[in-house]
Amino acid sequence: MASKLIQVQSKACEASKFVAKHGTSYYRQLLEKNKHFIQEPATVDKCQELSKQLLYTRLASIPKRYETFWKELDYAKNLWKNRSDLKVEDAGIAVLFGLECFAWYCAGEITGRGFTFTGYYP
């Protein structure tokens, strides 16, 4: 167990050195590549305007999302009605999707507990 801890520490140290060495160049490259998205000057008013644009763009997309939700629900109902025609591959995909949803739920619960498996802190 102690040897594994030493290995993990050495890997973390290597990763930290790599980020320290290459992190700033990656940051500069990323900003240069995406500079057309940067608003100059970055004022409070501009940030508030952008946040309002995002909010109202999201609000405007609600009807389309609502419509898509009902289409997908109708598709699922139709699959359930015709489940005798369902292939094993489709059922397997549905089971894997359900397992993935459950795994994300468990990850969220563990994160909400403060990364403990046994329970919540008082």
pLDDT value for 122 = 59
State whether 70 and 90 are in the same domain: no
Indicate if the pLDDT at residue 87 is higher than 90. no
Q: Quick check: is 29 in a domain?
A: yes
Considering just the CA atoms, what is the radius of gyration of the chain in Å?
A: 24
Report the C-alpha gap between 100 and 5 in whole angstroms: 30
Question: Is 121 within 8 Å of 113 (Cβ atoms)?
Answer: yes
Sign (positive or negative) of CA dihedral 103, 73, 71, 54: negative
The per-residue pLDDT for range 32-50, each reduced to its tens digit, is 999 888 888 888 998 999 9
Residue 33, domain extent? 1-38
How does residue 7 score in pLDDT terms, banded at 50, 70 and 90?
confident
Report the C-alpha gap between 122 and 114 in whole angstroms: 11
CA 84 to mean position of chain CA atoms: 35
State whether 46 and 70 are in the same domain: yes
pLDDT, average across residues 72-99? 90
State whether 68 and 34 are in the same domain: no
User: How many distinct structural domains can be found in the chain?
Assistant: 3
pLDDT, average across residues 73-90? 88
